[in-house]
Amino acid sequence: MNEILILSGKGKTGRRVAAQLDARGVPYRLASRSTAQPFDWYDESTWDATLAGADTAYLAPPVGPTGLTQAGKFVAQARGLRRLVLLSGRGVGSPGRDFAVYDGQLALENVVRATDLDWTIVQPAWFAQGFSEDFLRYHVLAGQIRVSAGDGGEAWIDTNDVGDVMTTALLDASYIGRTLAISGPRVLTMTDIADELTAATGRPIAYVDLSPQAHVAELVEQGLTQEDADAVRDLFAVIRHHRSEYVSTGVEEVLGRPPRDFDDWARETASNGVWG
């Protein structure tokens, strides 16, 4: 087998796919702006060299419409590639669950489906690691989760489960042509999350329900572009409108074990010192 190419490889899911491939002795190559061979979704002059010699790829696309369009362009011109596992989002293209904010991800899924690649598409729920490895970590540290999720719930998934499913999908041809929805085992509102994090950290953590407008204003103030801030607001609107309140069974189907619960994840993560 040639090296597996891990696009956006230093991210939350790419790192975990890499660790799982390491454990199995499968060769891989990371590709991002900071790898030895730099790869940038927005700089097409970096694409050919990144693809050279790769027949299998894991693709974690950028967030936001422009980045998703770039990822679609990349896939459509990816000569030499034979097998692709795409990270998408839960609800994308699902009748009754779809939302306009998913248009970019759906367009990318459709580009992938229209190629003659052997593809697998994995649609995860929101990652618990958003609270430990991404921007929500700072909310936990500040004792206030300030987002616009209303009283809606989501079946948050441990990103280690995402990495395990992605790795199985990359290595097992029986998942070719499949779209797999995966989530954690329980729907939790932001108030539930704040309570779980309070219990795990031993420090008070509150949920502050922002209006969508106030949420965007805070995100822009924190340095996001207007486009990305609007995209984050619209993603939270899916939760706010109670459209994520369901559990998906993909982890159990693929891995033969249940997904990890948020409570278990939060307690272990707290003991690792990530929240001080």
Binding site for ligand NAP (CB under 6 A): 8, 10-14, 32-34, 39-42, 60-63, 87, 89, 124, 126-127, 130
- Distance in Å, CB of 251 to ligand NAP, minimum: 14
Report how far residue 248's alpha carbon sits from residue 157's, in angstroms, rounded to the nearest whole number.
Answer: 10
Q: For residues 34 and 45, which CB has a smaller minimum distance to ligand NAP in the complex?
A: 34
Q: Rounded CA gap, 206 and 185, in Å?
A: 23
* Phi and psi, residue 84, nearest 5°: -140, 130
State which residue, 56 or 244, has the beta carbon closest to ligand NAP.
244
CB of 44 to ligand NAP, least distance (A): 11
User: Least distance from C-beta 166 to ligand NAP, angstroms?
Assistant: 9
202 or 232: whose CB is closer to ligand NAP? 232
Q: 108-117, long-range: CB within 8 Å, 24+ apart, which pairs?
A: 108/61, 108/68, 108/71, 108/72, 108/75, 109/179, 111/72, 111/75, 111/76, 112/75, 112/84, 112/86, 115/75, 115/76, 115/78, 115/84, 117/75, 117/78, 117/81, 117/82, 117/83, 117/84
| Of 118, 147, 97, 139, the residue nearest 248 (C-alpha) | 97
Minimal distance in Å, beta carbon 125 to ligand NAP? 7
Taking the C-alpha atoms of residue 48 and residue 201, their distance in angstroms, rounded to an integer, is 46
Q: How many CB atoms lie within 10 A of CB 7?
A: 27
- Answer yes or no: are the C-beta atoms of 171 and 260 closer than 8 Å: no
Select 13 or 201, whichever has its Cβ closest to ligand NAP: 13
Smallest gap from Cβ 275 to ligand NAP, in A, equals 18
Say if residues 67 and 33 touch (Cβ distance below 8 Å): no
Residue 224, token pair as written in the block:
């996001």
Q: Show Cβ contacts of residue 19 under 8 Å, excluding neighbours closer than 6 positions.
A: 163
- Choice between 10 and 137, CB closer to ligand NAP: 10
Taking the C-alpha atoms of residue 128 and residue 260, their distance in angstroms, rounded to an integer, is 10
Q: Least distance to ligand NAP from the beta carbon of 202, Å? A: 25
Q: Residue 252 CB, nearest distance to ligand NAP (Å)?
A: 18
Q: Which residue is nearest to ligand NAP (CB)?
A: 11
Task: DSSP letter for 2, please.
Answer: P
Which one, 203 or 225, has the nearer CB to ligand NAP? 225
**Quick one: 202 or 226, whose CB is closer to ligand NAP?**
226
